[in-house]
Amino acid sequence: MAPEACDCSATGVRPRTRPGRLAISLTVAMLSSLAVSGCSNSVAMSVTYDVSSDGRHIVFTGGSDGGRRLYDLDLTNYQVTPLTRSKADESHPAFGPGDDGIVFSRKRSGRGANREIIWFRVADGHEVRLTDGRHRDFYPRCSADGAAVVFIRYREADERPDRAAGWDVFQLDRTTLAIKRLTDCVYLDAGSTGFVGDTRTVVYDATVRDRHHSADLWLVDPGAEPRRLSRDGRSWQPSVGADGRHIAYSSAGGRKKPQIWLAALADGRGHRLTDGRSALERPRLNVATARIYYLRRERRGPELWRMAMDGTSPERLAGPDLFVAPERWRPGR
């Protein structure tokens, strides 16, 4: 799984006049596996979350009244606290350095499908708009120093001379709000992002426009061509540890249902940690606690779990009710 340089012009980009799927980073194979597991409700497809650096808090999206909002789950006492009160749909929260802020995506009111990136200060709830809401911006993640934010943006067909629409990776300076495009591949789909350690190297997943619609993990440095990290065509949702040494991800390689894998970034060699009957996805690697958090898809909806970095000691933290009715949720449900 050593990184391989990619020529974006060779990914078979075709003109596209209709927008693709929302950036949920799921391939056709993954959708099929979720259907087999019977997890068909909309909540199961929309849950996004992140874990604080000390492993004590989980920020997640929840609600079933037409719009998801941000909530905090305190794992020391299992209390749920609402963080935002916006009526607009919110998704893809990620803690910033020091856990004093959260960056997330919010649907722009009156702007159709457009979404903006928001910085939320935990101490007092103060918000700062980082992007202008004229595009569809998803999957933000902060750099280790908090100075940069990486995210995925949908590029409309009229933004490119070849009239091809798709997803690309962008980086934003939090001080100047200047935005730089890191890729020019107009991927069929793209998703989970992250910085590697304290560098500006970005890891993300993307589905290319080849015959198989291959979904793989990629690396990109500012000013350089993207490099393919995985090669099985069925890997997505990377989560890099704070030390920049390991990466957890979900892969359906050789199986109908995706499982959790772990790889060392030094050589890219991945190994499967789980062998469950359920689809497992959206891992979050927490080095401080040596745990991997993940979602387990069950018929009633997604469950939140965690396990040791070697795949042992799996522990169920919460059931589907946490995401459907967060303010009424109680431990054990």
Residue 112 has pLDDT above 70, yes or no: yes
Q: What are phi and psi of 155, to 5 degrees?
A: -105, 120
pLDDT tens digits for range 253-289: 766 799 999 999 988 788 999 987 899 999 999 999 9
- More reliable by pLDDT, 86 or 84: 84
pLDDT tens digits for range 10-39: 444 333 333 343 333 333 333 333 333 333
**Quick one: pLDDT at residue 254?**
66
Q: Which two tokens stand for residue 225?
A: 């061509």
Split at pLDDT 50, 70, 90, the class of 144 is very high
Split at pLDDT 50, 70, 90, the class of 8 is low
Domain parsing of the chain, residue ranges:
4-328
4-328 classified as CATH 3.40.50.1970? no
**Quick one: pLDDT at residue 163?**
66
Question: Which of 93, 84, 92, 97 shows the shortest CA–CA distance to 54?
Answer: 97
- More reliable by pLDDT, 108 or 34: 108
**Quick one: pLDDT at residue 20?**
41
Which range is least confidently modeled, 102-116, 133-147, 271-285?
102-116
Split at pLDDT 50, 70, 90, the class of 105 is very high
pLDDT tens digits for range 299-322: 999 999 999 999 999 999 999 999
Split at pLDDT 50, 70, 90, the class of 211 is confident
pLDDT tens digits for range 164-184: 889 999 999 999 999 999 999
**Spatial CB neighbours of 10, under 8 Å, sequence gap ≥ 6:** none
- More reliable by pLDDT, 45 or 79: 79
Which range is least confidently modeled, 64-73, 124-133, 233-242?
64-73
Question: Which of 218, 257, 264 shows the shortest CA–CA distance to 243?
Answer: 264
CA distances from 116 to 8, 48, 50, 328 (A): 26, 16, 19, 29
Q: Are 222 and 23 within 8 A, CB to CB?
A: no
Q: Are 298 and 320 within 8 A, CB to CB?
A: yes
Q: Which two tokens stand for residue 269?
A: 């060699």
**Quick one: pLDDT at residue 64?**
65
Spatial separation of the C-alpha atoms in residues 119 and 101, rounded to whole Å: 7
SS3 category, 324:
helix
Split at pLDDT 50, 70, 90, the class of 131 is very high
**Quick one: pLDDT at residue 182?**
97
Split at pLDDT 50, 70, 90, the class of 159 is confident
Looking at the chain, the whole-number percentage of residues with pLDDT higher than 70 is 83
Spatial separation of the C-alpha atoms in residues 108 and 89, rounded to whole Å: 8
**Quick one: pLDDT at residue 12?**
40
